[in-house]
Structure 1
Amino acid sequence: NDTILGESVKKRNDKLYKVMSVIATLELGFSHNSIDAFGDAYEYLIGMYAAAAGKSGGEYFTPQEVSHFMAQVVFYERKKANKVYDITCGSGSLVLQCERIGKDRILKGFYGQEINPTSYNLCRMNMILHEYQFYKF
Structure 2
Amino acid sequence: MLDKGVPQAEVDACWADLLILLHATEDTGLAHAMTEGADKALHELVSDTAGLLRISAAVLGAGRVLAHDPRAYGTPAFDLTWERTRAAFARHGVDLPADYRSDVGNFRSAATCLVFPGGIAELQAA
**When the two structures are superposed, what TM-score results if normalisation uses the length of structure 2?**
0.31
| Higher share in helix | 1
Structure with bigger RCO (C-alpha 8 Å, 6+ apart):
2
| Higher share in strand | 2
**When the two structures are superposed, what TM-score results if normalisation uses the length of structure 1?**
0.29
